[in-house]
Amino acid sequence: MKMAADADLVIVGGGPAGTAAALGALARRPAARVVMLDRSGFPRDKACGDGIGPVAVDVLAGLGCLEVLHGAMRVDRLRIGAANGTPVADRVDAPGYVLPRRVFDARLVQAAVNRGAELCREKVTKLTVHANGVVVNGRFRAAAAIGADGVHSRVRHEIGAGAHPRQHRAVSLRAYAQAPRREPELVFRLPRDPWPAYAWAFPTGDCRANVGVVLLDGRSPSNGTRLRELIAHTLPEWTPLADSFQGHHLPLSPGRPPPGHDRVLLAGDAAGLVNPVSGEGIATALLSGMLAGRLAVAQPARAGRLYRAALGRHLRAHLRQADLASRLMRSPKWTAATIASAGTSPPVFAALAGLTVGTDTMPLHAGARIATQRLRATFRV
């Protein structure tokens, strides 16, 4: 017997991936009934660097909701430095923005509701897939569902994908800090120890900055005190506000599961799409959510297969290179060679920026220049 669907699509999670899914679905089928479930109310804080890169901006433009960036800090300069080398800085072709997730996520949710999505505050504990539909929590029935519920995704667990592998899970700590007066720029610093890790400082435009640190190997021993000390040591110019610290796990893309299963799709952190070099996940959350939403309401019975193919077209090359770069980054000498090459070659700098804060791939000439720099450093030793 065919299941009667109460909704065309149920989305679990109201963050960027979930709201992009709702917006994408309603753009494809304005009359569709789209239900978003989230256990939290909005606005709510989220541990994140608050950086919204050019790819994310492009997706927002495609969804017709650039207004969510109103008042955001516009930044078009990037600075990258390692403990064992001179930092490099330059302007990037496409600017990014910095906007606290408390504001950004709430605006995205409101944009989705304004387009016709229904928002329900509910914790998801069960999902069942039938031949002709999906049932969530025993009462929300739909033709398809999207899991956009983060690194500890319940939807991912329900479809048998398991937890994200610990060795591919980064550990991060974020705070807000008083910012020194300087030209607005996105700052990345790589400490000597622990490795691989990096610290960031992004201006928020209100005399503050979002600062934090990421340990890129989830197996590294860490605790809140150690991470706070690492922020203070690596970013001494910034003074974190004591009540603004918040930790988070990042599901890095080398551990990603298959993103589609029959009528259930995974997007954003639930799909493990965080860049393993920079920890950036908003762009891939928005992009994957938009694609998932469109396909889930267009062809729910074939959505899984179509979604895997769509993600491959948009992200496969980038994710493969990012995975490779993350392995090379485990060598401080390769990292130093990359930064040194970026400091003497604007094309290499642009390629590095595109790989870390965008979804680009690194051109062959840029990779060759980095390899040459690495060989020169080897023979000087």
User: What are the DSSP E strand ranges found in 99-168?
Assistant: 118-121, 127-130, 133-136, 140-147
* Degrees, nearest 5: CA angle 117-283-292: 45
- The architecture (CATH level 2) of 7-48+102-165+253-323 comes to 3-Layer(bba) Sandwich (3.50)
Give the position of tokens 């956009």: 148
pLDDT at 276: 87
| Predicted structure pTM score | 0.92
Ranges of each domain in the chain: 7-48+102-165+253-323, 329-380
pLDDT at 350: 84
Long-range contacts of 344-350 (CB under 8 A, 24+ apart): 345/369, 346/90, 349/78, 349/88, 349/90, 350/92, 350/93
315: amino acid identity, one letter: L
DSSP letter at 358 equals S
Residue segments in the chain with a per-residue pLDDT below the cut of 50: 1-4, 381
The β-bridge relationship of strands 197-203 and 208-215 is antiparallel
pLDDT at 209: 95
Alpha carbon distance 258, 224 (integer Å): 32
104: amino acid identity, one letter: F
